[in-house]
Structure formats: C-alpha cells, structure tokens
C-alpha cells in the first residue's frame, strides 16, 4: 500500500503528501501564510475541519475568512460555539436546540425557563465578547450513537438527545468543545480552529420558533445575528439593514395607503385604491410591451380538474402546495377534485392545442396575467414579497428547436428594455444547465443550452453558468436585478421545456409533412406582480416615477377663499386623465404639505390668493424639494409630458 497520496489543488497543480495528512498540514505545505489564515478545507467538495485527515487521493481547497465558504464557517462557529455557550453561561437551565447559518448571518434556538427578550441582547453580546476574548481552541471528538446520547443525557440537553436518537446515522457523531470550559455541542461542522479567528458580529433580533417548525411542538426562543470579516464590513451591512428598514414596503404601504393583509385571508392582498392604481398602471405598461412584441393575451381558468395536473406531472410535484376544492358532481356518485392553479403552463398548452398548427404558424407567443395560488407556510410569508395568491406576467412561446436562439435574444432585449425603463439598469444573467435527473436526449439538451448561450453572447451581456441547476425539463436563464441599495432580486426567467409538450400532446406539422412537438419556452419578466411592486416600492423608497404614482398631484388650499379656483384646477387636470387629489381641509398649509409628503405624493400644488389672482399654479416637487410657478396651460402640458408611460 502506498504511503503517499496525490492532492490536487484548485489551480490544477498536484502535490505528494503522506497518508493521514491533516488539512492544516496541507495548508502549511502550500505556504505558511495560508496556514496562518486557514479556517477549514474541503476534500472532494466536502467541507472539513483543519484537524481532519486525508488518506487517499483527493481534490483539496483551503478556505480562509476572505472566502464565501470561510465566512459562512465563521458564522456557524459564532452561532454554535459562541452564542450557544453564552446562552448556557447566562441561563444555565436553558436547553440548546439548533444553530445554523442563514443568508448574511445565523440564529440559535433554545428553550429557557427565564424570559429572554430583545432587551437582553446587549447582555448576551457582552458575554459572547468575553468568550471570544479567551481565544480558546475548538477541538472535535468522534463518538458512537450510544456515546453521543449519553454525553448529552448526562448534561440534560434533551433536544440534542432527540436529534441523535432520530438520526439515521449510527456512528461518527461530531462533538465540539472549547478546551476545559466544559461546553460541548453536537454539530455537522466544520468550525474555526480557534475563537481568535472570529470577526465582527451583532445580534439583531429575537423571535419565537416552534421545534422542528411544527406548531404542534413547543415554542422556542430564536436569537438572530450577523457576522462579518471585520468591523468595516459589519458596519456596512448594518447601515444597509437600516436603509432597508426605512424602505420596507409594508411600512411605506401604510403611509401611502396602498394595501393591507389580514388573518381572515392569510397571504392574500387587500389592494386599496391607491395600491391598485400602481398595479393597473404596471399591468397596462407590460400589456402594451407584450402586444408590441408579438404576444397574444389570453386568460385561462382559475380552477382546473386534477386530471390535467396529473397529465402535466404537476400533481405529484406540487400537490402539497396546491389549494384543493372538492365538489359533489351532479348525477355522479363521486366527488370531483379540482385545484386552484399554482401555475399557468398546462392551461396555455390547452389553448395552443386548439386547431392544427403548421411550422409556418410558429412561433406562437401567448401571454397571461395569470392569477395563481400556492400554499406557503405561514412562517415564510412576508408582505408582498411572498404571498399565497399572486398574479404572474406569464408567457409561453411555442417554437421549433431552430427558433430557440432568436426567441431567447428577443426576450432578453424586451426584458432589458423593461427593466431599464422601470429604473433597474443593472441585472445579471445566470444560465442553469442540465441536472443529473432530466428528460430529453443529450442531443436536444446540447442544442438548447448552446442556443441560450449563443443568444446571450450575441447581445454581449455578461453571464454566469450554474452547472446542473437547470429544470428537469430543460435549461433556463434567470435574471437577477440590483436595486438602489445593492440588494439582488431574481425576477425574470426564461426556460426551455421539452417535457410538457410531449405530456400534453402539443404538435405542429413540419415542413416535411410529419407531426413534430414544439419546444415550449416558459418566460416571465416581472414574475409575481405583488412581489415586483414590493421591490419597486423599496427601490424608490415609495417615491415612484410620476407615471406609476397613485396620486400624481395634490392640490392644497391655503384658505377657503381659493376653494372654487382649486376645484376648477382639479377639473382641468382630471380631464387630462391625471391622478389628482384636492385637499380643502381647514388645516395649516405646513401640516398638509407634511402629510402629503409622507404619503410620497410626487407633486403638490399650493394654491393661495396670489395664485388665484394671477391664474397660476405653484408646484412643489417632492424629489427636488423646490417650488416653481406655472400658468395653468404650462402646468397641464408639463404634467402630461412627465406622466407619460414609457413606450
């Protein structure tokens, strides 16, 4: 048996190393500086602690805190080793549950007899800093299932015992400790080798969470936090959080009177008149864009028999997320099972299937503002960003394989134009290629992937490849836009489908006179209208472009003597289809201006005796915070021009 193994580094270079070499020793082989900075490593893609050993040929990567992997490992250590220990120090009878990483941070769940509130977070942070200051080494020991259960049963950590008992694993349970502190935790790892590599952190909030996410189980306390490489990165992120909180669409919706949600219809939006105004303006804008680009708008049923969902394959994959209706069919001895549609695609195939299609008829582009319903867990819903009832700007293109590239290029151009006009000049494209489990031949996948990639290259747009992340029925493009404060949102999508046309018998007569199946391209630009409106509100901090603003102009009177003149102005603006409010309340003008400013009304016309006498309009611009005086005709002309929908 060879006493040496070959390790392959990310750059392709190889090194010979003794069997049983540790991750830290490999880092030292590469360089002392890397060894000093290393926090963990991976063996053939599997993350390991630096103390773990390698006994056979392997691909090796060393992680430092500067890498995404290293940062996540540091966050995991802060949660499972620092926060968990601080909780036990401060609340000795607390029972520890789980502490994973999440986007930009971490959380830890625990059960405590003592009430722990947001007011206790500074105290817990202080205890965490004391623990980090000890710079303890973090060591790992491996145990059998029986040994692991005994370890945690002895210290009355009931949740750890439950996790181990319910695990399919029978051996190699990892227990981490910090020297002789007496603290141990069960964890999949890896962790930092020592606490002196912890960066900067901040606890952000505390909430309730059911054990295993099941409302039938006991309620635990969950402390959230964020951790970063250094204080500078932490401060930058906290500033972003503050800005995001100011822009929260739920908060702005109350100030602007846009919508509300309530318990009687969880995850369903009650649109108020002003919010619906935004919705309708955005829908009409998208409608006109699609019609101009060769789409025919259709509308399909909201409730569809399960037979269609079974035929399409969605029943098996989406059944848990469907809203089901059962009715006693007249003159039948059985119940008819229907579902509120969770997506529109099977219905679009039914429209395509009406009438024989020739290759000359392709591409067929169908679009629908499709009302869909999906059951989302109550804990995942968030304002407009995640709801149970939503409308998609859905579309499907039925085309030949040879038309995929041209249709892809046309769609990207349309999407780019719309995103730019809506104020999002920056977006990224991700090309997701074939997964291991898929339908269709490799030849068809080769052609589809090449067509999507060729279209992107011809448009000279940067993109990244997400290998293996495609849908089982075909490759896809995801479009990720960046908002005003740097957050990314995946909205648009373009997917090639070779599966559904086959399952639902979609056909066309080819140039050879034979029947062929079209390729079905699924596409959306905004995605969910509800979610996109939430993104728009936050991107603009409520100060929407004039053409989208629910109230474009508020006319504010200074005194009752000008009410008649103000009303005549409103009538003139109304005649031009401008969205105008008249505020004739007997309130001070400063109060009115402040109230309409809080409601994010972009323009305010302050009408006093001078304006009435001169027959003019003084308009205050919210964004520019300045006032200009115009004749009535000038004001109408200016507003009509500035409120035009992009075309």
Domain CATH number, residue 232:
3.30.980.10
- Considering the domain architecture, whether residues 286 and 162 belong to the same structural domain is answered as no
Q: Where are the beta strands (DSSP E) in 97-168?
A: 101-102, 105-111, 139-143
Decide if pLDDT at 117 tops 90: yes
190 located within any domain: yes
Question: How far apart (Å, rounded) are the C-alpha atoms in residues 347 and 368?
Answer: 10
Q: What is the reported pLDDT for 459?
A: 83
Q: Is residue 165 part of a domain?
A: yes
Tell whether 316 is covered by a domain: no
Which sequence positions are flagged as catalytic?
345, 374, 392, 394, 396, 476, 522
In a domain, 326, yes or no: no
Higher per-residue confidence, 121 vs 499 = 121
Token digits of residue 128: 């965490």
Give the pLDDT band of residue 498 (cuts 50, 70, 90): confident
Q: What end-to-end distance do the CA atoms of the chain give, in Å?
A: 73
Beta-strand ranges (E) seen in 285-432 are 296-297, 303-305, 324-328, 335-340, 364-373, 389-399, 427-432
Predicted local distance difference test score (pLDDT) of residue 330: 65
Coil, strand or helix at 199:
coil
**What ranges in 361-473 are assigned the alpha helix state H?**
404-421, 442-458
pTM to 2 decimals? Answer: 0.83
Among candidate residues 514, 539, 564, the one where a domain is terminated? 539
**499 plus 441 within the same structural domain:** yes
How confident is the prediction for the chain on average, in pLDDT?
93
Within this chain, do residues 276 and 196 fall inside the same structural domain, yes or no?
Answer: no
For the stretch 45-61, what's the b/e string if a residue is b when 16 or more beta carbons lie within 10 angstroms of its beta carbon?
Answer: eebbbbbbebeeebebb
Least confident of 245-254, 363-372, 494-503: 494-503
Tokens of 260: 């509300």
Clarify whether residues 416 and 534 are in a common domain: yes
Domain shared by 395 and 530, yes or no: yes
Where residue 348 falls among pLDDT bands split at 50, 70, 90?
Answer: very high
When comparing pLDDT for 538 and 627, which is higher? 538
Which of 485, 517, 539 is the last residue before a domain boundary? 539
Q: Please check whether residues 99 and 211 belong to one and the same domain.
A: yes
Inside any domain, residue 368: yes
Looking at the structure, tell me whether residues 296 and 215 fall in a common domain: no
Mean pLDDT of 96-123: 94
- Residue ending a domain, among 539, 568, 599, is 539
Percent of the chain at pLDDT exceeding 70: 99
Number of domains in the chain: 4
Same domain (yes/no): 116, 167: yes
The reported pLDDT for the residue numbered 440 is 77
CATH value at residue 60: 3.10.20.30
Is the predicted pLDDT of residue 458 greater than 60, yes or no? Answer: yes
Half-sphere exposure of 496 (CA within 13 A, CB side): 35
| 310 in any annotated domain | no
- The answer to whether residues 562 and 605 belong to one domain is yes
Rounded mean pLDDT, 51-66: 94
Tell me whether residue 263 is in a domain: no
Q: Are residues 520 and 572 in the same domain?
A: no
Q: Which residue has the higher pLDDT, 584 or 182?
A: 584
Identify the pLDDT of residue 82: 95
Averaged pLDDT, 457-486: 89
> Which pLDDT score, from 0 to 100, does residue 134 have?
93
Q: Are residues 583 and 490 in the same domain?
A: no
> Is 596 part of any known ligand binding site?
no
Domain with 289 in it: what CATH number? Answer: 3.30.930.10
Per-residue model confidence as pLDDT tens digits over 59-102? 999 999 999 999 999 999 999 999 999 999 999 999 999 999 99
Judge whether residue 586 has pLDDT over 80: yes
Q: Indicate if 351 and 285 belong to the same structural domain.
A: yes
Range 34-50 average pLDDT:
95
* 396 labeled binding residue: yes
Answer whether residue 1 shows pLDDT above 60: no
Residue at 547 is within a domain = no
Give the pLDDT of residue 332.
60
| Residue 640, marked binder | no
Chain segment 296-327, per-residue pLDDT in tens: 999 999 999 999 999 988 888 888 899 998 88
The residue range of the domain holding 629 is 553-642
Q: Which one has a higher pLDDT value, 507 or 646?
A: 507
């Amino acid at each position: 048996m060879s006493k040496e193994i070959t390790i392959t580094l990310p750059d392709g270079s190889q090194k010979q190393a003794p069997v049983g070499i540790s991750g830290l020793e490999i880092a030292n082989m590469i360089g002392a500086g890397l060894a000093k900075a290393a926090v963990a490593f991976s063996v053939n893609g599997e993350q390991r602690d630096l103390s773990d050993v390698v006994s056979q040929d392997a691909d090796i990567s060393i992680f430092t805190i500067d890498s995404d992997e290293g940062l996540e490992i540091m966050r995991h250590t802060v949660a499972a080793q620092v926060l968990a220990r601080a909780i036990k120090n401060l609340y000795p009878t607390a029972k520890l549950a789980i502490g994973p990483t999440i986007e930009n941070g971490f959380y830890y769940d625990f059960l405590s007899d003592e009430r722990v509130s947001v007011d206790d977070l500074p105290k817990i942070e202080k205890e965490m800093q004391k623990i980090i200051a000890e710079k303890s080494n973090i060591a790992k020991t491996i145990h059998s299932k029986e040994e692991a259960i005994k370890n945690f049963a002895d210290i009355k950590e009931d949740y750890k015992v439950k996790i181990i008992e319910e695990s399919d694993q029978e051996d190699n349970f990892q227990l981490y400790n910090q020297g002789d502190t007496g603290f141990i935790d069960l964890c999949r790892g890896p962790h930092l080798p020592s606490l002196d590599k912890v960066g900067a952190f901040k606890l952000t909030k505390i909430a309730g969470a059911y054990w295993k996410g099941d409302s039938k189980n006991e309620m635990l306390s969950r402390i959230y936090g964020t951790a970063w490489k250094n204080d500078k990165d932490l401060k930058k992120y906290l500033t972003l959080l503050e800005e995001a909180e100011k822009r929260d669409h739920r908060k702005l919706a109350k100030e602007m009177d846009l919508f509300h949600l309530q318990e009687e219809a969880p995850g369903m939006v009650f649109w108020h008149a002003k919010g619906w105004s935004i919705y309708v303006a955005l829908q009409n804008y998208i409608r006109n864009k699609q019609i101009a680009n060769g789409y025919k708008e259709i509308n399909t049923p909201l409730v569809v028999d399960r037979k269609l969902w079974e035929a399409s394959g969605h029943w098996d994959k989406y059944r848990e997320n469907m809203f089901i209706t059962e009715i006693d069919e007249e003159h039948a001895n059985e119940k008819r099972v229907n579902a509120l549609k969770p997506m529109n695609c099977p219905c679009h195939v039914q429209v395509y299937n009406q009438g024989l299609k020739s290759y000359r008829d392709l591409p067929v582009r169908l679009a629908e503002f499709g009302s869909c319903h999906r059951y989302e867990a109550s804990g995942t819903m968030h304002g407009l960003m995640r709801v149970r009832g939503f409308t998609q700007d859905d579309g499907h293109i039925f085309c030949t394989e040879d038309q995929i590239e041209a249709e892809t290029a046309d769609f990207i151009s349309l999407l780019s134009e719309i995103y730019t006009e809506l104020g999002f000049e920056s977006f990224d494209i991700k090309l997701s290629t074939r997964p291991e489990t898929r339908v269709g031949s490799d030849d068809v996948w080769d052609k589809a992937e090449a067509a999507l990639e060729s279209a992107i290259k011809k448009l000279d747009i940067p993109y990244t490849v997400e290998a293996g992340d495609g849908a089982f029925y075909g490759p896809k493009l995801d479009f990720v836009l960046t908002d005003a404060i740097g957050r990314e949102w995946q909205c648009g999508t373009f997917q090639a489908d070779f599966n559904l046309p086959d399952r639902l018998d979609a056909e066309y007569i080819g140039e050879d006179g034979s029947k062929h199946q079209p390729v079905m391209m699924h596409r959306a630009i905004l995605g969910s209208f509800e979610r996109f409106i939430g993104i728009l509100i936050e991107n603009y901090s409520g100060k929407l472009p004039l053409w989208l603003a629910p109230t474009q102009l508020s006319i504010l009177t200074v005194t009752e003597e000008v009410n008649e003149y103000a009303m005549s102005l409103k009538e003139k603006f109304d005649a031009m289809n401008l969205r105008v409010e008249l505020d004739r309340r007997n309130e001070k003008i400063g109060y009115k201006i402040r109230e309409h400013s809080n409601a994010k009304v972009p323009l305010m016309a302050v009408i006093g005796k001078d304006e009435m006498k001169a027959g003019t309009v003084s308009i205050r611009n919210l964004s520019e915070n300045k006032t200009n005086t115009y004749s009535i005709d000038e004001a109408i002309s200016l507003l009509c021009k500035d409120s035009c929908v992009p075309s």
